[in-house]
Amino acid sequence: MLRRLAAAAVAPRRLPRRLCSAALQAHHSFYIDGEWVPPVNGVVPHQVINPATEQPIATIALSSPADVDAAVRAAQRALPSWSATSREERLAMLEQLAAIYAERQGEVAQAISAEMGAPIRLATRAQAAAGLAHLRQFVRVLRGFEFEQPLRAGELLTHEPIGVCALIAPWNWPMNQVSLKVAPALAAGCTALLKPSEVAPLSSLLFAEMVHQAGFPPGVFNLVQGEGAVVGEAMATHPAVDLVSFTGSARGGRAVTRAAAEGVKRVVLELGGKGPNLVFADLGADLATAVRRGVRHCFQNSGQSCNAPTRMLVERSVYAEAEAVARAEAEAQAVADPALPGTHIGPLASAAQWHKVQGLIAEGVASGARLVSGGLGRPDGLGRGYYARPTLFADVPPHAAIWREEIFGPVLCLAPFDSEAEAIALANDSAYGLTSYVQTADAARARRVSRALRAGMVEVNGKACSAGAPFGGVKQSGNGREGGEMGLREFLEVKTIAGWPS
């Protein structure tokens, strides 16, 4: 096996034509059992739309349950040999994949920018870069992970691959989520089938090319395309699938959980968020910096991030000052073509997302919240494309839809609080619990508030979680964790062996 891996590193497998150079052409095949194969029941075409132009840039085929079955069966056949590989063999494969990804990262960034509208700077430095960071992080995790541990009473505790894994990725951070799912699954010794979002599938097609180029054995990784209601359900209900990892909306997570329940499969969910950002008056001169940082973070990726700090809670004594700073920052936020260099934001990813955001902005006005800047429609000068205006609401009542629902657009809500206890209560009064944010100059308060917030992650004073930190939430933000050692453990079963011969 090691000799074959070494040979693959010297002479990569023959590749199909690169998708980035053929992005305007049809790609009507799926990657199953080490080959690009046509749909079992014929081509059902689906256009991939560039959200900046509202024009099609590619056509893919949508999978049927028969294609899902073929991918699952390929993964099932590959599982015995792949799960029996050594740590060193899997490390060699993942290191090769990371090296290829690094070489082709520019292609990935271009694909992401075209398929979901991320500005090319963001697509390069954050979107595509995140995929590589997670690949490298899981190489480090795998290298040091203890798969066997003796227990005090003499038992042997082992960690073994869970089996065939169905991986369902979203459109908003495509390579970040693909790497967070595929890398630990393969590192653990599992085999996998991936379904990217049909909104942003091109970067995942490139990823499948890289897996092929790296020389992974046939069936270890497979890719199908399609809508969640058809393909996702077929993956979740398939009797040979042992785990489903899903990233998307809370509604989608509930559907996946119901579909997987009959088979009592392990389900890992990374769902939505409505991140509270608590800003305390003790910041003093640093208040403006904290508020500007919060506005920029909310608007990054056009607001299409589950961990965005979309609810800014500000201590009343500095509320007016914070609102003025936030308004200036929101009005200064440029919106432009994602192909242009710069720190502007681009369009929303689809027509459906644009209409959803517009509807929620209208509901915000009707709720009695005060519209400070932005609002309905497209920014001036942008008549085509799914661009939304960076929008700031103040005095948002806690019952308002814009305060309670995940908008997934460049919309920030402000509300005041009078005490630390009230701030915590307002922050926790949410169906979600993904990432919370605390801005304070008081270290004791930072520790106290961070512990009181019901969230999977808390970021204090702009310190972000690293690629190796566990990512995930509580309540309707999901269950399980992605990233780092805890992300690897999601793909492993624990076995206890008593009487293990010494």
Residues 6+ apart with CB under 8 A from 256: 168, 232, 236, 244, 246, 267, 269
Cα distance between residue 216 and residue 153, in whole Å = 40
Could you tell me the sign of the dihedral formed by the alpha carbons of 193, 198, 203, 209, in that order? positive
Is 285 exposed, middle or buried (CB count within 10 Å of its CB: 0-12, 13-18, 19+)? exposed
Q: Which of 306, 406, 459, 490 does the annotation list as catalytic? A: 306
Cα distance between residue 225 and residue 204, in whole Å = 10
Helices 129-144, 174-188: crossing angle, 10 deg rounding = 20
Q: Residue 225: which of 214, 236, 235, 215 has the closest Cα?
A: 235
**What does the DSSP assignment read for 383-429?**
-SSS----EEEES--TTSHHHHS---SSEEEEEEESSHHHHHHHHH-
Cα distance between residue 171 and residue 115, in whole Å = 9
Is 95 catalytic? The answer is no
Residues 6+ apart with CB under 8 A from 21: none
Is 459 catalytic? The answer is no
Is 9 exposed, middle or buried (CB count within 10 Å of its CB: 0-12, 13-18, 19+)? middle
> What is the enclosing helix (H) or strand (E) of 49?
strand 45-50
Q: Which of 233, 270, 482, 490 does the annotation list as catalytic? A: 270
Q: What is the token pair recorded at 232?
A: 């996702």
| Residues with catalytic function | 270, 306
